[in-house]
Amino acid sequence: MTNASPAVQQLRARAPQAQPRIASVLGSGWGSLTGHVRDALRIRYDELPGFPQATVLGHSGELWLGRIGAHEVAVMSGRKHAYENGDVKGMQLPLQTLRALGCEVLVQTNAAGSLRAEMAPGSLMVLTDHMNPSQRSPLVGAGGSERFVSMVDAYDPDLRAIAHAVAARCGVELHEGVYVWTLGPQFETPAEVRMFRHWGADAVGMSTVPETILARHAGMRVLALSLLTNMAAGLSEESLSHAHTLSTAYAASDVVGSVLADIIAAIEL
Ligand code: HPA
């Protein structure tokens, strides 16, 4: 990615003064963060060459440039999922674009299924690590020795500590744990869920991991937060559906948006 890529050029033309240093990607239920973006300039993804054309209900497809606290931010409302077309590189160009604009930190959010009884639907988890059992990587085909990127502390310990401190200050319980990525779009079988629990995973979801790999490759620090919208398959009587995910997500939306805004404001660059 050069600074002259069409999406970077378009953003420079639309927002010549913008110098965001923190990027955020909003998953289901996290959209209310945009209400905390000051002096916002909203740019639709279809105006940005290579940005995803959203296909999932609940993902609107806009880039918000503005400020949260003292930080300039670039917030992606809507992401591309690998399950849409099998391509795990769908977020490569947007993330490279935000990196080229100056973003050094990526704050990711998602909706996930809980694998632990004490993490009830509606609660939050900060990722300490992830598992990628499908072993799909957005770096396949990348050149150079940088492609062999370390995934140790992929979720930045200092950013995780900030998230915990802010959540405690807000009186919001923040669990921490390991996120296991499934390609989807089907939910897991109960047998898969038993296997993931046995492996030591704490939550399961269909996003975030490709973006973390891309962001680490691009030298960005990563923080990722899950909103647990349900107990994973077989762990409760409730039947799973996207509508159920969205309804739990929206019920928690105001709280999680404001905690997320406080976490972003507290990040030290
Ligand atoms: N599994 C996978 N992805 C999800 C889930 C789940 O149970 N809930 C929300 N996203």
Question: Per mean pLDDT, which range of 97-101, 108-112, 234-238, 245-249 is the poorest?
Answer: 245-249
List the CATH code of the domain at 6-266. 3.40.50.1580
178 falls in which pLDDT band (50, 70, 90)? very high
pLDDT of 2 strictly over 60: no
Q: What is the mean pLDDT of the chain?
A: 93
* Domain ranges for the chain: 6-266
Task: Tell which one of 131, 181, 188, 244 to mutate to probe ligand 1, the residue whose CB is within 8 A of the most ligand atoms.
Answer: 188
User: Is the distance from CB of 100 to CB of 3 less than 8 angstroms?
Assistant: yes
Tokens 């030298």 sit on residue: 219
**Position in ligand 1 atom list of the atom nearest CA 205:** 3
Asked if residue 185 has a cis previous peptide bond (ω within 30° of 0), the answer is yes
The DSSP secondary structure of 15-33, one letter per residue, reads: -TT----EEEEE-TT-GGG
188 within ligand 1 shell (Cβ under 6 A): yes
User: Is the distance from CB of 40 to CB of 27 less than 8 angstroms?
Assistant: no
Among 32, 77, 114, 207, the one annotated catalytic: 207
User: Is the distance from CB of 56 to CB of 206 less than 8 angstroms?
Assistant: no
CB atoms within 10 A of CB 64: 20
User: Is the distance from CB of 205 to CB of 232 less than 8 angstroms?
Assistant: no
| Whether 23 is catalytic | no
C-alpha of 115 from chain center: 19
Asked if residue 94 has a cis previous peptide bond (ω within 30° of 0), the answer is no
113 within ligand 1 shell (Cβ under 6 A): yes
- Mapped onto helix, strand or coil, the DSSP state of residue 162 is helix
pLDDT in tens, 126-163: 999 999 999 999 999 999 999 999 999 999 999 999 99
CA of 56 to the centre of ligand 1 (A): 14
